[in-house]
Structure 1
């Protein structure tokens, strides 16, 4: 039986744990607060910046997944010690380190992002993510560890949380026919990653030697504007045409004076104000993951929202 250790129990970590448990594998999820273990998934509380503690928890693991997600406005301070600990733990244990990544490290300026696009972001968050991968790649090339990264676009899906632009708040408003408020522009082509596809890509990357030492994009369906996504959700749910009202950028910037989270969102608003599209052809070939078609992804997402609304 393959042993998997997952750091982080947010939307990505939870989706990954569910997939691995369904496969019958041994799954341990680590987080600061821990969780309730079941006969399918074990949980443990751990400070992952403690390299010795993380190494101990990951002993015997075939794959160590980095699905951690420090607070958006604390990436510059929180990621370096956490990332250093993950690299060292993977080196000590021999586990393949698979990171759930994103597209922030690229400097796209509207160009289609591919795995070989330069990691030339100049904003703080993008530079942090770029340095993380560059550090891992150097250590992999020196033969110290085996590592790969799987980069996703903004995600959506059954276990998406309130942090997701197309998460429960957006989906529920569209289904209810209410005004859906967004913090970003809504009329530019945008790639959206389906969470179960993200999980499948992470698992494949961890078990495919050809994927190690490189970064890959999650195989993702064709891009949609935020408005097009809302229209598809409404059509599947039998709801009226969506009423999407973006909060003006000036208002978001003003609120950012008192809200670190909104300040960080404002700093990357160009992700939605221009095309933000990734190519996933190479990763589909290497990882063998096929992107879930939009109709099925939306249907499964809506089914999960209906189930969540049923009183237990």
Structure 2
């Protein structure tokens, strides 16, 4: 078994580290604090204090590693500032150590989709966050094609699962409404079908990309359950929790734009309105055909998510 280095100990980094350790690998988790996450400790898992933008520190921590996983999660409002130095440092560390660079990506780079998104869909984003992600991808791919590094990227839809905090998921943040039987207010069209990515499936995809050379040089979508609208998904959460279905309404865009005038976070959400006002669907057939990975059944996803939620006060 090999050494795998996880950069970031948020939900993605923690879940991926647990999976790799369970498979018998040596895992080193790098974070600014250097301390273990609440549930991330035990045999085979080491923690080190390293700034993700410090190429020298990353290089030293990744020496001898088979793969380095970019599971960093900058604040949503700081992507243009925080991502470029982190992405550059990770490329430098991968080049200096020979470790495969596996990046946790998303669907922002595609921009407003024209149909179902695949890894071959045009990276046509015009919003700031999508352009940031596309620059990261282009730089890493160029380094790969120049023979400087070996890399791949996993792209996921909106996260769901018991490990995901409410601020990281438009679905998980509805659990208090589900528990209390109150109306759920969502961003965008409640009935637009969407893809959702279960965090266990995200981790399984990342771990596979870091251990299979067939993954190199391209992006892969995380296998996800059949699409569910926000309304349908919330109704499913209610059923899994043994609660009556709650009413679901979309927050009017004029209200969101008014809030955005004083809220940097809401401005970022309004900037990617296209993710919420039409179908937002991904296809992971290539991942399944190549690696045999499949999505966790939706019923298990909602049951796990509800089961981890605290009861209403």
Question: Does TM, normalized by the shorter one, top 0.5?
Answer: yes
Residue in structure 2 matched with residue 235 of structure 1 by the alignment: 239
Secondary structure of 1:105's aligned partner: helix
**Structure 2 residue 41 is the aligned partner of structure 1 residue 38:** yes
Q: 1: distance between equivalents of 2:270 and 2:178?
A: 23
Secondary structure of 1:262's aligned partner: helix
Encode CA deviations 1:40-64: one digit per residue, 9 max, x unaligned. Answer: 3322222111110111111111110
1:167: how far off?
4.8
1:293: how far off?
0.8
Q: 1: distance between equivalents of 2:153 and 2:9?
A: 18
Residue in structure 1 matched with residue 10 of structure 2 by the alignment: 10
**Structure 2 residue 174 is the aligned partner of structure 1 residue 170:** yes
Q: CA 1:34–1:249 in 2, change beyond 3 Å: closer, same or farther?
A: farther
**Structure 2 residue 307 is the aligned partner of structure 1 residue 303:** yes
Residue in structure 1 matched with residue 164 of structure 2 by the alignment: 160
Q: 2: distance between equivalents of 1:274 and 1:38?
A: 41
Residue in structure 1 matched with residue 189 of structure 2 by the alignment: 185
Residue in structure 2 matched with residue 213 of structure 1 by the alignment: 217
Residue in structure 2 matched with residue 264 of structure 1 by the alignment: 268
What do you get for the CA RMSD once the two structures are aligned?
1.7
Secondary structure of 1:203's aligned partner: helix
* Contact kept in structure 2, 1:46 and 1:54, CA below 8 Å: yes
TM-score, scaled to structure 1: 0.94
1:180: how far off?
2.3
**Structure 2 residue 19 is the aligned partner of structure 1 residue 25:** no
* Contact kept in structure 2, 1:4 and 1:64, CA below 8 Å: yes
- Which consecutive unaligned segments of at least 5 residues does structure 1 have? none
* Contact kept in structure 1, 2:111 and 2:274, CA below 8 Å: no
Q: 2: distance between equivalents of 1:171 and 1:22?
A: 29
* Contact kept in structure 2, 1:60 and 1:93, CA below 8 Å: yes
Q: 2: distance between equivalents of 1:207 and 1:304?
A: 30
Q: 2: distance between equivalents of 1:164 and 1:251?
A: 22
1:13: how far off?
1.0
Encode CA deviations 1:9-35: one digit per residue, 9 max, x unaligned. Answer: 111111112212222321111122222
Encode CA deviations 1:201-244: one digit per residue, 9 max, x unaligned. Answer: 00111111111000010011111100010111111221111222
Encode CA deviations 1:70-106: one digit per residue, 9 max, x unaligned. Answer: 1111111111111000000001111110001000001
Secondary structure of 2:239's aligned partner: helix
- Which consecutive unaligned segments of at least 5 residues does structure 2 have? none
Residue in structure 2 matched with residue 103 of structure 1 by the alignment: 107
* Contact kept in structure 2, 1:253 and 1:263, CA below 8 Å: yes
* Contact kept in structure 2, 1:160 and 1:167, CA below 8 Å: no
Residue in structure 1 matched with residue 129 of structure 2 by the alignment: 125
Encode CA deviations 1:173-224: one digit per residue, 9 max, x unaligned. Answer: 2133122232333210111001000000001111111110000100111111
Q: 1:279 aligns with which of 283, 298, 312?
A: 283
1:247: how far off?
2.5
Q: 2: distance between equivalents of 1:200 and 1:109?
A: 26
TM-score, scaled to structure 2: 0.93
